[in-house]
């Protein structure tokens, strides 16, 4: 009887070990499939560049970025929107890097790039100068095309206005170019950042970010991990967010050649909704307008293949 009991226990232990290995290999296969489109390893790997602030060689800001693609190809810079970070480009990045040299980075106060004392969040000119300094740090001297989403669309136009010889064309994805987008001046309530950061939890953060997507079920946990670093138990992240909102509310209309711009709007956008899209269209009649019927506020998340086709067609056309 004892021998049979030992055999049974050994058999159960063997089956348990097989089960653990199956779980391991299935999990590994799922992760490999998830990240296979991102090139080597995970997209959530970063590089650092320490960029001087305000030409002060003694003070450097650690900027997180990702740069890939052939150096002999045209440069495309991806500028994310309010509350996001460079991870929002993870699906379109691998589709572009065969045709372009692609640079994505975390704006100060978002992702893993800090914003000491909210220096950059208060003026778009500070942010655009930082990007120019980042290019210098990376020894990139060629002109660049821009792809900006939401707030990144506004910053892209500021870049074109301030540095017309360095930034040639821009694709603006549901750009934040209507002052009426700001329904609540949350920067006036920055003193509540502490309680908000303490009350905010992962579920609420997931819901808020999902509001910008038409396919929220495809949102990877790693994206939320990086968002959580900015906002959960982090009042500074809330304050930076509020200051960037003020930039949108107080913006003017950048003076650029809008025939060099393409505006991409989405039918499923809950942020830049149809009335805002019509208002923006009236202000920028020279820009080309392309409409996606179902994408959300972040087309790079929802429709990466469609977006990459628009990018390739516009930037590589003569």
Q: Tell me the pLDDT band of 279, cut-offs 50, 70 and 90.
A: confident
Angstrom CA distances, 238 to 58, 199, 248, 285, 298, stand at: 28, 12, 16, 35, 21
Give me 9's structure tokens: 């226990």
Place of tokens 């980042």: 134
| One domain, residues 17 and 117 | no
Give the predicted TM-score (pTM) of the model: 0.84
pLDDT of residue 236: 92
Does the pLDDT value for residue 42 go beyond 80?
Answer: no
Residues 20 and 73 in one domain: no
Triad 40, 41, 42: Cα angle to 5°: 120
- Residues 52, 24 share a domain: no
Is the same domain home to 58 and 27?
no
Name every residue whose Cβ is closer than 8 Å to that of residue 264 and which is 6 or more positions away in sequence. Answer: 171, 172, 173, 174, 290, 291, 292, 299, 307, 310
What pLDDT score does 179 carry? 72
Cβ contact 197:234 at 8 Å:
yes
Cα–Cα dist 128/163, whole Å:
9
- Say yes or no: 18 and 142 in one domain: no
| Token pair for 175 | 């750009």
Give the domain CATH number at 58. 3.40.50.1820
Distance CA 173, CA 162 (A): 20
Q: Which of 177, 162, 159 is nearest to 284 (CA)?
A: 177
**Local confidence band at 226 (pLDDT 50, 70, 90 cut-offs):** confident
pLDDT tens profile 86-144? 999 999 999 999 999 999 999 999 999 999 888 899 888 899 999 999 999 999 999 99
Q: Are residues 135 and 172 part of one domain? A: yes
Helices (H), 42-116: 93-96
pLDDT greater at residue 240 or residue 5 = 240
Q: Following CA atoms 186, 191, 195, 197 in sequence, which dihedral angle do they give, to the nearest 10 degrees?
A: 60
Q: Are residues 34 and 56 in the same domain?
A: no
Predicted pLDDT at 205: 93
CA atoms within 13 A on the CB side of 281: 13
Helix axes 221-231, 202-210, angle to 10 degrees: 110
Mean predicted confidence (pLDDT) in 172-194 = 80
Which of 79, 45, 43, 53 lies closest to 137, judged by CA? 53
Whether residues 128 and 78 fall in one domain: yes
Residue 26 reports pLDDT greater than 50 = no
How many angstroms separate the CA atoms of 313 and 318, rounded? 10
Residues 105, 15, single domain; the answer is no
Range of the domain at 19: 1-38
Same domain membership, residue 271 and residue 134 = yes
Residue 237, burial from CB neighbour count under 10 angstroms (0-12, 13-18, 19+): buried
Q: Are residues 69 and 215 in the same domain?
A: yes
Number of domains within the chain: 2
236 or 32: which leads in pLDDT: 236
The mean pLDDT of 220-243, rounded to a whole number, is 91
pLDDT in the model for residue 15: 52
Q: Are residues 199 and 178 in the same domain?
A: yes
């Amino acid at each position: 009887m004892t021998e049979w009991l030992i055999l049974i226990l050994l058999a159960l232990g063997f089956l348990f070990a097989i089960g653990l290995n199956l779980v391991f290999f299935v999990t590994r296969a799922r992760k490999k499939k998830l990240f296979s489109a991102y090139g080597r390893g995970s997209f959530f790997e970063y590089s650092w560049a320490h960029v001087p602030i305000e030409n002060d060689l003694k003070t450097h800001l650690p900027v997180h970025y990702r740069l890939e693609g052939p150096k002999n190809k045209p440069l495309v810079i991806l500028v994310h929107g309010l509350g996001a970070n460079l991870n929002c480009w993870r699906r379109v990045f691998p589709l572009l890097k065969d045709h372009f040299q692609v640079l994505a980075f975390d704006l100060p106060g978002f992702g893993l790039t800090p914003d000491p004392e909210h220096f950059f969040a208060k003026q778009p000119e500070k942010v655009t100068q930082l990007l120019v300094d980042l290019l210098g740090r990376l020894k990139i001297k060629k002109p660049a095309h821009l792809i900006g989403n939401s707030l990144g669309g506004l910053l892209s136009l500021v870049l074109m206005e301030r540095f017309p010889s360095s930034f040639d064309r821009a694709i603006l994805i549901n750009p934040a170019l209507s002052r009426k987008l700001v329904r609540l001046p949350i920067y006036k309530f920055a003193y509540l950042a502490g309680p908000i950061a303490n009350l905010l939890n992962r579920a609420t953060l997931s819901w808020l970010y999902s509001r910008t997507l038409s396919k929220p079920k495809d949102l990877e946990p790693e994206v939320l991990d990086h968002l959580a670093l900015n906002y959960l138990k982090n009042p500074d992240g809330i304050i930076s967010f509020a200051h960037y909102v003020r930039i949108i509310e107080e913006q003017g209309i950048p003076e650029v050649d809008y025939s060099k711009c393409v505006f991409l709007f989405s039918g499923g956008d809950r942020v830049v909704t149809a009335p805002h899209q019509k208002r923006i269209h009236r202000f920028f009649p020279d820009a080309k307008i392309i409409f996606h019927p179902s994408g959300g506020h972040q087309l790079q998340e929802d429709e990466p293949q469609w977006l990459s086709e628009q990018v390739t067609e516009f930037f590589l056309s003569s």
